[in-house]
Amino acid sequence: MIILPAIDLLDGKCVRLYKGEYSTAHTVAPDPFETIKRFITDGAEYIHLVDLNGAKDGKPVNHELLCELACRSSVPLEIGGGIRDMETVKFYIENGFSRVIIGSAALKNPEFVKTAVHTYGDKIAVGIDARNGYVSTSGWTENSQIYFTDFAQTMEKIGIDNIIFTDIERDGTLEGAAIERLQELKSKVKTETKITASGGVKDIEDIRKLKALDVYGVICGKSIYEGTLNLKEAILL
């Protein structure tokens, strides 16, 4: 299992949100470049980045800063937020990102996902963000009537084998990972499908539970910034 420390950018700043509410945004680190450097020093082998402005606006917003981060990073980065077309996918891959995460567009335009995965293979992942079990889109501002496991199965059918699942109700809360939701997801997808857990992780006990669940990866944000989780310890577990 890999640990992916997270950097969420809003107006060029590293922030965290509480349950995805933009009104709760607060700065957690002064410099994204120093933050990535610290994560790498602590042993991170992969880092998760999100363009929060992009997720809300439906187009890349912090892309210049994100590409500069990719250029300077010595470890692979994955990027999500505002990725709605092939031009944006191509842009990020050509500018140093190892994995591109398609979120809202996956629900609204599955043909786009099919084209992306057929073009770039395992460089494409789908982010499934759910509130009370139902997929949410547009920076978590719009809720659908599509159940998250049904959507995951639809994505598998068009070739996706890498799913990043976020339980919005837990994101930024430090209330613990959504173990039951993740178990449900694992029971509905293929054994070989990679699942990355996101949302609610608080401490090393959560990491142990997720490792026992045998997920591919876990994204950690607030827990690292607030010091309830030691990144070095989590990576070495």
> What tens digit of pLDDT does each residue of 116-141 get?
999 999 999 999 999 999 998 877 77
The reported pLDDT for the residue numbered 10 is: 96
Distance in angstroms (rounded) separating the CA atoms of residues 77 and 220: 14
Q: At 155, list the tokens.
A: 């994505």
Non-local (6+) Cβ contacts of 154 within 8 A are 110
The reported pLDDT for the residue numbered 142 is: 81
Phi, then psi, of 192 in degrees rounded to 5: -80, -10
For residue 217, the cross-strand partners are 2, 196
Inter-CA distances, 23 with 15, 16, 17, 19, 83, Å: 11, 11, 8, 10, 22
Q: At 98, list the tokens.
A: 């190892």
pTM, two decimals, is: 0.95
Q: Please list the ranges in the chain whose pLDDT falls under 70.
A: none
For residue 10, the cross-strand partners are 13
Distance in angstroms (rounded) separating the CA atoms of residues 132 and 26: 24
Task: Report the catalytic residues.
Answer: 8, 129
Distance in angstroms (rounded) separating the CA atoms of residues 183 and 15: 29
Q: At 203, list the tokens.
A: 């401490």
Non-local (6+) Cβ contacts of 119 within 8 A are 86, 89
